[in-house]
């Protein structure tokens, strides 16, 4: 393994909203990342993954919907609910893009679900790896 790839793997980390940069990311770059994810291996070439890109107003609407669902399902105290709602909206506001990762089962059901989950995971791994290179 090359030393550069080894270094990238060891330096990978989660990035939280307080560490987000103001650097612009073009939609072209996002689409290239997702195109590379499409090269992940699949059994019978089902490519079960779907990526939904939220940007601009759609990411703010997503945040509002997430808060609404959280309120419906939360058993937290009002204080904790308010903190969580703020965090959800803050993440959506600070993100340039939000990519929802979805899986669509093979219509014929010819592939076991776990294989399609694994294939979707590989697609995510490929797009994350591309971002770091």
User: pLDDT class for 11, splitting at 50, 70, 90?
Assistant: confident
Domain ranges of the chain: 3-132
pLDDT of residue 85: 94
Give the residue among 72, 36, 30 at the shortest CA–CA distance from 54: 30
59-101 pLDDT, tens digit per residue, is 999 999 999 999 999 888 888 889 999 999 999 998 888 999 9
pLDDT of residue 89: 94
Fold designation for 3-132: NADH Oxidase (3.40.109)
98's enclosing H/E stretch is: strand 97-103
pTM of the prediction? 0.77
User: Phi and psi (nearest 5°) for 85?
Assistant: -60, -45
């Amino acid at each position: 393994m090359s030393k550069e790839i080894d270094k990238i793997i060891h330096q990978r980390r989660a990035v939280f909203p307080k560490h987000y940069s103001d650097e612009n990311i073009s939609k072209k770059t996002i689409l290239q990342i997702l195109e590379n994810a499409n090269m992940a291996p699949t059994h019978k070439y089902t490519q079960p993954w779907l990526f939904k890109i939220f940007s601009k107003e759609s990411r703010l609407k997503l945040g509002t919907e997430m808060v609404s669902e959280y309120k419906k399902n939360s058993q937290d105290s009002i204080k904790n609910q308010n903190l969580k709602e703020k965090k959800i909206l803050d993440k959506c506001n600070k993100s340039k893009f939000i990519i929802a990762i979805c899986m669509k089962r093979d219509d014929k059901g010819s592939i076991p679900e776990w294989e399609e989950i694994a294939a979707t995971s590989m697609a995510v791994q490929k797009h994350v790896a591309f971002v770091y290179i």
